[in-house]
Structure 1
Amino acid sequence: MTDIPLSVLFGTLALLILFSAFFSGSETSMMAINRYRLRHLAAKNHRGAQRVQTLLERPDRLIGVILLGNNFVNTFASSIATVIAIELMGEAGIPIAASVLTIIILIFGEVTPKTLAATYPERIAFPTSLLIKPLLTLLYPLVWATNMIGNAILAFFGFPTTDKNNYRLSREELRTVVHEAEGIIPKRHQQMLLSILDLEKASVEDIMVPRHEIVGIDLDDPIDVLIEQLSNIQHTHLPLYRESIDNVFGVVHIRTVVRLFRNKELTKESLEKIARDVYFIPDGTPLNTQLLNFQHHRQQVGLVVNEYGDIQGLVTIDDILEEIVGEFNTNPAAYSLSPSVHPQDDGSYLVDGSTSIRELNRALQWHLPTTGAKTLNGLILDYLEIFPEPGTSLRLEGHAIEVVQVTNNVIKTVKVYPLLHTTTKHPTP
């Protein structure tokens, strides 16, 4: 080696440091690249993405060939540096060369290329894969042997090397991805995506029209009463029953009723003829499941029943869609938050006691618990454990609340105030 000119030795050393940077950057870029964007690009026949995706299918082989190459060039560079040091300073220059080479490799062969690769993984991974892939083929026997030993050691200690679920997102991780997409996805669309993810957390009981609020047609009423009722109806689907909703036998669409009325054919018998069979929904059915059930059975409305077959409420497909896209408001000037939430001049809100907790949370950006009671009326009763009188005040999840109106053992109207700076979660009379 002493017959080799110093210029050649320095040139070789510089080339080896460059190779060290290449292997270091390749490793970091391939490990840091976005797997989902990589799949997207590969599906669009991006050649660089396809090469990298193939290499990442066996990360043990990829890391094996990169580390083999990196260790080889670093060891060779150390030998060249030792020869240069001896020629320039004798044996006393060996420790100096080792120290200087360590700093040079650390800066130019490790930190700088890895930082660059972590910042721009695609720009580094795609071109470097052009050399890594044939190099893996060339060194495959050596890579295979080292991987066999390494995988055997991992298996001995109980660490599998073929986990296919490593890059699958959980639901909560997907929520984080949607949250972090602000600026890419409009905020309104973000909220819709999050609402879709939350559908399985809610059941039909959370959004149903309670039994006592179901508007239907009682065929035991006189025909003139029915005509008056239908003239002022504001609902699309109407249950048909006799005496009480427990004796429901069909559902009619208001459009069909209007057609009968226009043709002067509206009778009790004609209503029975156009009625469709009732579609029943078990209580506790998750909203995502029920949305698919509506689609599968080609239904738009159903009655929620408990385990004893008692009717608990009514749910339409529109109710589920509103959980995703928000309230369907045909008159935006009528209200800005929710039809049940009315802002006051002093910053408070008058809220209907039958308002669902989910609707109130969505309208006011609150975080009242939804695991127990489904309505504001039920939540207040659960917290107080007594039936309140009008004027009763309490503090619920930091919100000051005043019971304004009580009718027939039901809290009809409540006044709520902005969030207070307190951690108290129990009512204070």
Structure 2
Amino acid sequence: MDSIPLSTLFISLAICLVLSAYFSGSETGLLSANRYRMRHLAEKGNSGARKAENLLKKTDKLLSLILICNNLVNISASAIATIIGMRLYGDAGVAIATGALTFLMLVFSEIYPKTVAALYSEKVAFFSSHILALLMKIFSPLVFFMNIIIKGLIQITGLKTEAKANHLSTEELRSIVHESGKFIPTAHQEMLLSILDLAEVTVDDIMVPRNDISGIDIDDDWKAIMRQLNHSAHGRVLLYKDNLDEKVLGFLRVREAYRLMLDKNEFTKETLIRAVDEIYFIPEGTPLTAQLVNFRNNKERIGLVVDEYGDIKGLVTLEDILEEIVGEFTTSTAPSIEEEVVPQSDGSIIIDGATNIRDINKLFDWNLDTEDARTFNGLILEYLEEIPEEGKEFEIDGLKVTILEVADNMVKQAKVVKL
């Protein structure tokens, strides 16, 4: 070693530091790269992405290769630095070389390359994959031997080696959508988030309550039936006999009723009954994701929600589910959330008792409980366990509520102040 010029030793040390920086940065870059974008680019034909993805499929072998190479380089650098130190400063040079090399390796071979690789993980990963793929072939026998030893140690220590599926949970997907920023328009983000929320929403949350279902009693006189048909805001109306609890006949297409009107001889109550479509029933508590599939499979667009006893609870249409994703787009006689919830100049909010709690939570980013009640009136009655009097004040879920109007055993209006 004494015959080797100092200049050669310094150049060799510099090469070792550069190689150490490369392996350190490669490890960080590959492990920090977005796997899903990498897969997308690999499918598009990016060779660097394809090689990087192949390397990451066997992370244990990749880490073994990087650590083997990095340790070989670091040990070589340590030996060369020791020789240089002893050449220049004698025995004291060992300590000087150790201190100097530790500083150089921390700054230039560890911290700096890892920081750069974390910032530009994709570029570093794709560039490094070409060299690492070649090194993997060269060092494959050594990597294989090292992995056998590692697996043996894992078995001795009783650790589990089952690989976890690289799948995203709903919450992780929601975070990705939130962090997409300018890459996904805000309107599209809202739709994607709404789709993710469908599994947590049931038909009970969006159905038209039984009391609000508009229908025609076939026992009414002709004038009443004609008036309801002519003023119907929907393409279909529910036809029943006496009341909804007695006998529901089916859904009548208003367009079909108009066709029957053209022939006065055919336009009778009997022909109306024969013209109705068979009722499609939906069990209460059905998630919207399942119901959307059920509508498609059964070629249906509307159904009645029933409880375990077969009693009608409400009505749900395909449009109701689609509006949960894209927002309201159909004409409805029901008041909008802006009409039911009116902010006041003093900071308070006047809320209609029939307002859907989920709509209130979305509008104000509140967390009112939706487990036991669907409307704001139901939430109040569930909390108080009695029908309150006008003027009663109480606190619920961080809100100060004042009852303004009570009628028909329901809270019609309440003033709310966020505490």
Shorter-chain TM-score range:
over 0.9
Matches within 5 A, 1:305-344: 305-328=306-329, 337-344=337-344
**Residue 20 of structure 1 corresponds to which residue in structure 2?**
20
CA distance in 2, matches of 1:96, 1:46: 47
**Residue 151 of structure 1 corresponds to which residue in structure 2?**
151
Q: Which amino acid is the alignment partner of residue 289 of structure 2?
A: N
CA contact (8 A) 2:61 2:147 kept: yes
CA shift at 1:187, angstroms?
2.5
Shift of the 403–261 alpha-carbon distance from structure 1 to 2, 3 Å rule, reads farther
CA contact (8 A) 1:65 1:139 kept: yes
SS of alignment partner, residue 123 of structure 2? helix
Q: Which amino acid is the alignment partner of residue 231 of structure 2?
A: N
Structure 2: which 5+ residue stretches go unaligned? Answer: none
The one-character-per-residue Cα deviations of 1:172-230 (angstroms, maximum 9, x if unpaired) are 12222222223332223222222211111121111111112111111111222100111
CA distance in 1, matches of 2:392, 2:94: 87
Matches within 5 A, 1:255-404: 255-261=255-261, 266-328=267-329, 337-344=337-344, 346-404=346-404
The one-character-per-residue Cα deviations of 1:130-170 (angstroms, maximum 9, x if unpaired) are 111111111111111111111222233343344141x3211
CA distance in 2, matches of 1:118, 1:87: 38
CA contact (8 A) 2:406 2:413 kept: no
SS of alignment partner, residue 309 of structure 1? coil
CA distance in 2, matches of 1:36, 1:313: 43
Shift of the 302–38 alpha-carbon distance from structure 1 to 2, 3 Å rule, reads same
**Residue 84 of structure 1 corresponds to which residue in structure 2?**
84
CA distance in 2, matches of 1:174, 1:363: 22
CA distance in 2, matches of 1:38, 1:341: 46
Q: Which amino acid is the alignment partner of residue 228 of structure 1?
A: R
Q: Which amino acid is the alignment partner of residue 326 of structure 1?
A: G
Matches within 5 A, 1:231-242: 231-242=230-241
SS of alignment partner, residue 159 of structure 1? coil
CA distance in 2, matches of 1:143, 1:251: 71
CA distance in 2, matches of 1:208, 1:76: 73
Q: Which amino acid is the alignment partner of residue 226 of structure 1?
A: I
CA distance in 1, matches of 2:275, 2:347: 49
**Residue 175 of structure 1 corresponds to which residue in structure 2?**
174
CA distance in 2, matches of 1:162, 1:143: 20
Percent of aligned pairs with the same residue? 47
Shift of the 262–91 alpha-carbon distance from structure 1 to 2, 3 Å rule, reads farther
After TM superposition, the structure 1 stretch with the greater mean CA deviation from structure 2, 48-57 or 397-406, is 397-406
Detail structure 1 runs of 4+ shifted over 6 Å in the superposition.
none
**Residue 220 of structure 1 corresponds to which residue in structure 2?**
219
SS of alignment partner, residue 389 of structure 1? coil
CA distance in 2, matches of 1:143, 1:404: 76
Shift of the 262–377 alpha-carbon distance from structure 1 to 2, 3 Å rule, reads farther
**Residue 251 of structure 1 corresponds to which residue in structure 2?**
251
Matches within 5 A, 1:135-214: 135-165=135-165, 167-214=166-213
**Residue 416 of structure 2 corresponds to which residue in structure 1?**
417
CA distance in 1, matches of 2:170, 2:12: 52
SS of alignment partner, residue 394 of structure 2? strand
The one-character-per-residue Cα deviations of 1:57-101 (angstroms, maximum 9, x if unpaired) are 111100001110000011111111122222222222111111111
CA distance in 2, matches of 1:221, 1:278: 21
**Residue 63 of structure 1 corresponds to which residue in structure 2?**
63
**Residue 425 of structure 1 corresponds to which residue in structure 2?**
none
CA distance in 1, matches of 2:339, 2:322: 17
CA distance in 1, matches of 2:279, 2:335: 33
CA shift at 1:330, angstroms?
5.2
SS of alignment partner, residue 91 of structure 2? helix
After TM superposition, the structure 1 stretch with the greater mean CA deviation from structure 2, 240-249 or 46-55, is 240-249
CA contact (8 A) 1:399 1:416 kept: no
Structure 1: which 5+ residue stretches go unaligned? Answer: 421-429
CA shift at 1:292, angstroms?
1.2
CA distance in 2, matches of 1:159, 1:46: 37
**Residue 108 of structure 2 corresponds to which residue in structure 1?**
108
CA distance in 2, matches of 1:150, 1:215: 71
CA contact (8 A) 2:399 2:416 kept: yes
CA shift at 1:346, angstroms?
4.9
CA contact (8 A) 1:26 1:117 kept: yes
Q: Which amino acid is the alignment partner of residue 296 of structure 1?
A: N
CA contact (8 A) 1:223 1:267 kept: no
The one-character-per-residue Cα deviations of 1:317-363 (angstroms, maximum 9, x if unpaired) are 111122222223659xx987444334455554443322221122223
The one-character-per-residue Cα deviations of 1:15-61 (angstroms, maximum 9, x if unpaired) are 11111111111111111111111111112121111100000011110
Pairs aligned (count): 416
CA distance in 2, matches of 1:33, 1:130: 15
CA distance in 1, matches of 2:78, 2:346: 77
CA contact (8 A) 1:401 1:414 kept: no
CA distance in 2, matches of 1:343, 1:238: 35
CA distance in 1, matches of 2:137, 2:289: 48
CA contact (8 A) 1:337 1:364 kept: no
Shift of the 341–263 alpha-carbon distance from structure 1 to 2, 3 Å rule, reads farther
The one-character-per-residue Cα deviations of 1:378-411 (angstroms, maximum 9, x if unpaired) are 1111111111223333333232333333332222
After TM superposition, the structure 1 stretch with the greater mean CA deviation from structure 2, 147-156 or 126-135, is 147-156
Q: Which amino acid is the alignment partner of residue 309 of structure 1?
A: G
CA contact (8 A) 2:30 2:121 kept: yes
SS of alignment partner, residue 28 of structure 1? helix
**When the two structures are superposed, what TM-score results if normalisation uses the length of structure 1?**
0.91
